[in-house]
Amino acid sequence: GNLAGLPTETVYGLAGNAYSNTAVKKIFKLKKRLKQNPLIIHYYNIQQTADDVVINNNFKKLYKKLCPGPITFILKKKKNSKIHSLANAKLKTVAIRFPKHIVVRTILKNINFPLAMPLLLKYTCRVLLSLNRCKHNLAGILFQALEVLCFRGACLRIPYL
């Protein structure tokens, strides 16, 4: 149920285990996110999606040309998927991505679950592009909930920031 601040191609994300009831609920609570607003689920590669979404030929073609990278696919969720129902707003579809950033890719390659990962900040804040801005702009409760923050290849436990 722990959360981490991780970089993507463009912004920092608030990452948690997409299969975990605790992690998904924490994300929604901390961001004060509406329950009907689904999260994007991040995977390392197409093979990791096999238990969660229906893979079709059109998706395979696009995946081969565009991934990894900053593109989101909407696919039908499998009935036996472990993705927490809140993460996809109880819809029959799931938004998925295959991020290109080396830090999050390395993490995704070495864990056995996908990451639910919306923007790290509340929607009223500007995008974070530096660790210094991140430390000073995060709302206190959101920042305190993180266990780890990764920046430019270094992952730091929050008490050391």
Residue in the structure block whose two tokens are 């390392």: 44
Entry pTM: 0.80
pLDDT at 90: 94
Q: Tell me the C-alpha distance between 76 and 116, whole Å.
A: 17
Higher pLDDT, 10 or 38: 38
CA-CA distance, 59 to 153, in Å (whole number)? Answer: 30
Query: In the chain, count of helices (H) and strands (E)?
Result: 5, 8
Per-residue pLDDT at 70: 87
* Confidence tier at 140 by pLDDT (50, 70, 90): very low
In angstroms, the Cα distances linking 87 to 100, 114, 116, 128 are 22, 11, 7, 23
In sequence order, what are the residues at sequence separation of 6 or more whose Cβ sits closer than 8 angstroms to the Cβ of residue 15? 3, 4, 5, 6, 42, 104, 107, 115, 116, 117
Task: Give the pLDDT band (50/70/90) at residue 8.
Answer: confident
Q: What is the pLDDT of residue 33?
A: 85
Over the chain, what is the mean pLDDT? Answer: 81
- Look-up of token digits 């900053």: 70
